[in-house]
Amino acid sequence: MASAYNPIYTDVPEKDVFALHFLQTLSNLRTQNSFSSPDNKTSDRVKKIKKAAYVSMARAAGATNRLWSRSLLHQAAKRNNKNVRFLRRKRRVTWLMRRRSNRGDPIEDVAAERLRNLVPGGGGMETSKLMEETAHYIKCLSMQVKVMQCLVDGLSPK
Amino acid sequence: MDNELFMNTELPPPSEMAMHFEQPSSSSAMLNWGLMDPNLARNSPPQDCFMWEKSTEQQQSIFDSALSSLVSSPTPSNSNFSGGGGDGFIIRELIGKLGIIGNTSGDIYGAPMNGNVSRSASCYATPMSSPPPMMNRTAPLTEFSGDPGFAERAAKFSCFGSRSFNGRTNSGIPVNNGKIVNSGKLTRVSSTPALKALASPMIPAGDSPPKLPGEFSRKRKSVSKGKSKDNPLPVASPSPSFSKTAERKEVSEEKGGKRRREDEGEEEEGNNKGGNDTKPPEPPKDYIHVRARRGQATDSHSLAERVRREKIGERMKLLQDLVPGCNKVTGKALMLDEIINYVQSLQRQVEFLSMKLSSVNDTRLEFNVDALVSKDAMISSSGSRVHESGLQLESLSHHNYNNNSQLHTNVSSNNMMLHSPMKSLEPSALARGFTHLPTLTQFTDTISQYQMFSEEDLQSIVGMGVAHNPNHESQSQNMKIEL
């Protein structure tokens, strides 16, 4: 799709960017936990790694350019009680506004609601914007999945 | 519709007749066409509204008689009306009768009501029929020539006389558009020879069909463009504009629902910058200009709604390309379900893979993570020089895992050597580079300078690393032990 002119910009960086960010995040994770005794339960580790994956993905995909990435990072930072770096007050579309603007079919509204729950930061978006974000999110997700798959394949015991 | 018209024309006079009824004049004479003609000739132009009031009394009687005659029996004048459709036949009859009545009494139909039609009708008892009757009437028609208004009204009446009231004649006869309107206007067309006979008795009947319909169509179009506008007649026939406009207005009012709808549809398009039912173009401005499509509402809400729906459709197509296996599915709802499933599956995959990653041996993971990152750093190295320094680094790193500063300096020096952004990987370099294990902090520094590897590269890196890992691990461990 590189050649086709797409007015809706949904390009994502290459895998290596994702890999870089992911590894960075992982390493950060390691530095945080490495020297403490690994008494963490598996679930905690899993959660951490998962979060690291998402955060790295958000960063790799252009952290502040996309709504979903921003909201992801925001959530992550809130959970960590870290100071949120990207403290941008985006104007949230109120329910009322959305109702007014989204007088669409009930069919697509129901599905759109489900999509909103899935995509981070989808609660305040119009349906068309939501679909844009979904497209970008899907691309990034698939990229991240590939990177992680490679890692797992490489690191799994032979 | 035609009947209604005539009903309208008929009713007021009868009511007035009831009011002003007086002694009936020579009503029987009214039926005599021959008598009518001289009366017509005598009559003044029918614009005079005042005549109506003056001569109401006479006219009432005339009306009465005429109506009764009409009702009672099909008049012998029927034979004159050989042309035209069956429907228009009766109407023409009525009109003729009324017209004659009006003419005899002066101008009854000057009143600007529905009687306008009848006014015109009044004058044109004779010319409203088809050509054959025209032939009969050439003599009386010539009398009409004295009254230019009659010609006008005759033309108009001819259209009334026909089945449909669509369009009106300009009373301008030689209008040649070459277009032929589809609606059944042949009857109307046939009546035009009468007018032509007035203007120039040599006009063949054949000319009228193409001209009149074209005129009609033109007229209609002009009317559609601007409702009930007065169009200057293309023909130079002198006509009382008053009557004409009145009639035109009336006809425009009388226009059928079909025509109206058509016009509205056309007007809608016209309102929206030309009838174009293509998709709305989106010029590079702040506002998106939308064109209403033909036959659709021009409500601002619906327009916005349509724009929104098109946007969503566009994005759906985009998503369709992304999500595998979505081509077969059609329809927004199903597509959205597919997309949702795909997103959910991707997220589950991420979770699963993170679980797997966490289950990997901790040290192994760390080790490999470092290695991978460092490998990336080492990749651009081409010579063994780097390799050696890397080896040094490796040994150092294992010893001084926490000693960041020292290694940091080493690595930084290393970084300078490996500054060029790497695009391609060399398996040998990879194999060697994998052995080098700088500390974690150094990783991020080095990595940030370089482009990361592609998937294949990564796999190869990992593969190499894994393959070589135990050896080097043991080596490094040995080195550790030694040192």
Report CB contact under 8 Å: A128, B305. Answer: no
Distance, CA of B216 to CA of B159 (rounded, Å): 10
Report CB contact under 8 Å: B339, A6. Answer: no
In tens, the pLDDT along B313-365 reads: 888 888 888 888 777 777 778 888 888 888 899 888 888 888 887 777 555 65
- Interface ipTM: 0.82
To test the contact with chain A by mutation, choose from B320, B452, B459, B466 the residue with the greatest count of A C-beta atoms within 10 A, namely B452
Cβ-nearest to A27 among B355, B356, B443: B443
Confidence of residue B227 (pLDDT cuts 50, 70, 90): very low
In chain A, what residues touch B348 (CB-CB under 8 Å)?
none
Q: Is B458 within 8 Å of A18 (Cβ atoms)?
A: no
Smallest CA–CA distance from A37 into chain B, residue: B362
pLDDT at residue B88 tops 80: no
Section A86-109 average pLDDT: 56
Say which range, A40-49, B64-73, B326-335, has the weakest mean pLDDT: B64-73
How far are the Cα atoms of A34, B129, B171, B254 from residue B188, in angstroms, in the given order?
100, 9, 12, 16
Domains of chain B, first to last = 301-371 (4.10.280)
Report CB contact under 8 Å: B332, A107. Answer: yes
pLDDT at B394: 43
Nearest one of B158, B252, B249 to B211, comparing CA atoms: B158
pLDDT at residue B51 tops 70: no
How far are the Cα atoms of A154, B216, B234, B428 from residue B368, in angstroms, in the given order?
9, 88, 93, 18
In chain A, what residues touch B346 (CB-CB under 8 Å)?
138, 141-142, 145
Report CB contact under 8 Å: B452, A111. Answer: no
Report CB contact under 8 Å: B455, A153. Answer: no
Say which range, A24-33, A79-88, B34-43, has the weakest mean pLDDT: B34-43
Report CB contact under 8 Å: B347, A141. Answer: yes
| Domain extents in chain A | 12-29+46-79+113-157
CB-neighbour burial class of residue A3 (10 A; exposed 0-12, middle 13-18, buried 19+): exposed
Report CB contact under 8 Å: B319, A131. Answer: yes
Report CB contact under 8 Å: B318, A26. Answer: no
Better-predicted residue by pLDDT, B65 or B190? B65
Confidence of residue B93 (pLDDT cuts 50, 70, 90): low
Q: Which residue has the tokens 């040998």?
A: B428
Distance, CA of A60 to CA of A12 (rounded, Å): 9
CB-based contacts of A141: which residues, under 8 Å, 6+ apart? A57, B343, B346, B347, B350
Nearest one of A100, A88, A156, A157 to A127, comparing CA atoms: A100
pLDDT at A135: 85
Distance, CA of B270 to CA of B185 (rounded, Å): 27
Q: Is B221 within 8 Å of B115 (Cβ atoms)?
A: no
Phi/psi of residue B185, each to 5°? -110, 15
Q: Tell me the percentage of chain A whose pLDDT exceeds 90.
A: 0
Report CB contact under 8 Å: B311, A128. Answer: yes
Amino acid at B442: Q
Query: How many C-beta atoms surround the C-beta of residue B427 within 10 A?
Result: 12
Distance, CA of B108 to CA of B132 (rounded, Å): 29
pLDDT at A42: 66
Angle between helix axes A127-155 and B332-359 (nearest 10 degrees) is 30
pLDDT at B152: 58
Report CB contact under 8 Å: B350, A20. Answer: no
Say which range, A33-42, B134-143, B402-411, has the weakest mean pLDDT: B402-411
In tens, the pLDDT along B201-226 reads: 444 444 444 444 444 444 444 444 44
CB-neighbour burial class of residue A35 (10 A; exposed 0-12, middle 13-18, buried 19+): exposed
Size of interface A-B (CB pairs under 8 A): 186
Q: Is B446 within 8 Å of B380 (Cβ atoms)?
A: no
Confidence of residue A16 (pLDDT cuts 50, 70, 90): confident
Phi/psi of residue B407, each to 5°? -65, -30
In tens, the pLDDT along B189-206 reads: 444 444 444 444 444 444
Shortest alpha-carbon distance between residue B482 and chain A (Å)? 24
A10 CB near a chain B CB, below 8 Å? yes
3-state secondary structure chain B: CHHHHHHHHHCHHHHHHHHHCCCCCCHHHHCCHHHHHHHHHHCCCCCCHHHHHHCHHHHHHHHHHHHHHHHHCCCHHHHHCCCCCHHHHHHHHHHHHHHHHHHHCCCHHHCCCCHHHHHHHHHCCCCCCCHHHHHHHHHHHHHHCCCHHHHHHHHHHHHHHCCCCCCCCCCCCCCCCCCCCCCCCHHHHHHHHHHHHHHCCCCCHHHHHHHHHHHHHHHHHHHHHCCCCCCCCCCCCCCCHHHHHHHHHHHHHHCCHHHHHHHHHHHHHHHCCCCCCCCCCCCCCCCCCCCCCCCCCCCHHHHHHHHHHHHHHHHHHHHHHHCCCCCCCCCHHHHHHHHHHHHHHHHHHHHHHHHHHHHCCHHHHHHHHHHHHHHHHHHCCCCHHHHHHHHHHHHHHHHCCCCHHHHHHHHHHHHHHCCCCCCCCCHHHHHHHHHCCCCHHHHHHHHHHCCCCCHHHHHHHHHHHHHHHHHHHHHHHHHHHHC
Cβ-nearest to A30 among B321, B322, B440: B440
A105 CB near a chain B CB, below 8 Å? yes
pLDDT at residue B243 tops 50: no
Distance, CA of B256 to CA of B220 (rounded, Å): 12
pLDDT at B382: 37
A:61-80 residues touching chain B, CB 8 A cutoff = none
A109 CB near a chain B CB, below 8 Å? no
Is the pTM higher than 0.90? The answer reads no
In chain B, what residues touch A155 (CB-CB under 8 Å)?
357, 360, 364-365, 368, 462, 466
To test the contact with chain A by mutation, choose from B309, B455, B461, B466 the residue with the greatest count of A C-beta atoms within 10 A, namely B455
pLDDT at A55: 80
Q: Tell me the percentage of chain B whose pLDDT exceeds 70.
A: 15
- Is the Cα dihedral B1, B4, B6, B9 positive or negative? negative
Section B115-120 average pLDDT: 45
Report CB contact under 8 Å: B318, A14. Answer: no
Rg (CA), chain A: 18
Cβ-nearest to B336 among A17, A19, A111: A111
Confidence of residue B367 (pLDDT cuts 50, 70, 90): low
Confidence of residue B101 (pLDDT cuts 50, 70, 90): low
pLDDT at B147: 55
pLDDT at residue B399 tops 80: no
Q: Residue B269 corresponds to which tokens in the numbers above?
A: 């398009």
pLDDT at B370: 63
In tens, the pLDDT along B436-476 reads: 333 434 444 444 444 344 445 555 545 544 444 444 444 44
Rg (CA), chain B: 48
